[in-house]
Amino acid sequence: MGLVSPNPGTIFWMVIVFGIVLLILKKFAWRPILNALKERESSISNALMSAEKARKEVANLKADHEAIRLEAQREKEQILKEAREIKEKMIAEAREKAQSEAQKAVEQAREQIQLEKVAAINDIRKQVVILSVNIAEKVIRQKISPSAEQEKMIDLMLKDLTLN
């Protein structure tokens, strides 16, 4: 029963040895352990602050990235809008130019047709005059005898032809 019920002398020496060990630990081990714990706490605190700072920076970068992306999107839309407007303007100008050139070509063709019509009418008139003169000449030769009347008629026709 010696182990179950402690001896008061053993308890005394155990308390003294425990106190000495506690003093030695306090003198040599307690401060380094506390310092190590403080350093560990400080490094964890610094790491948490750095992580929070990094998180804020990432959030700011995301916001900046989104703003830049939206600005690029707006610029793209503006450029596309301007390109569409330029395209429409070029198409309208080309259409107007084509219509103008077609109108000029039609007008020139009308003028050319009118000139050719006038020339054809003049040519037909000349041919009618020549044919009329030839027919009249044949008719006159047959009806008029060679006399002064025939010469008078020829002179009259010659004067008439030179006047026209």
- Can you give the pLDDT at residue 164? 52
- Give the residue from 129, 131, 137, 134 showing the smallest Cα distance to 154: 137
3 in any annotated domain: no
CB 134, CB 143: distance < 8 Å: no
75 in any annotated domain: yes
83 in any annotated domain: yes
For 56, the 3-state DSSP assignment is helix
Tokens at 114, concatenated: 């009118």
45 in any annotated domain: yes
pTM, full prediction: 0.42
Tokens at 92, concatenated: 């309208």
C-alpha span between 31 and 46 (Å, rounded) = 22
113 in any annotated domain: yes
Question: How many folded domains does the chain comprise?
Answer: 1
Region of poorest pLDDT, from 21-25, 31-35, 86-90, 130-134: 130-134
Which residues does 161 contact at the CB level (< 8 Å), separation at least 6?
A: 129, 133
- Residue-wise pLDDT tens digits, 28-85: 888 888 888 999 999 999 999 999 999 999 999 999 999 999 999 999 999 999 999 9
- Can you give the pLDDT at residue 147? 66
Q: State which residues form the domain around 53.
A: 8-163
2 in any annotated domain: no
- Please report which confidence band the pLDDT of residue 162 belongs to, taking 50, 70 and 90 as the band edges: low
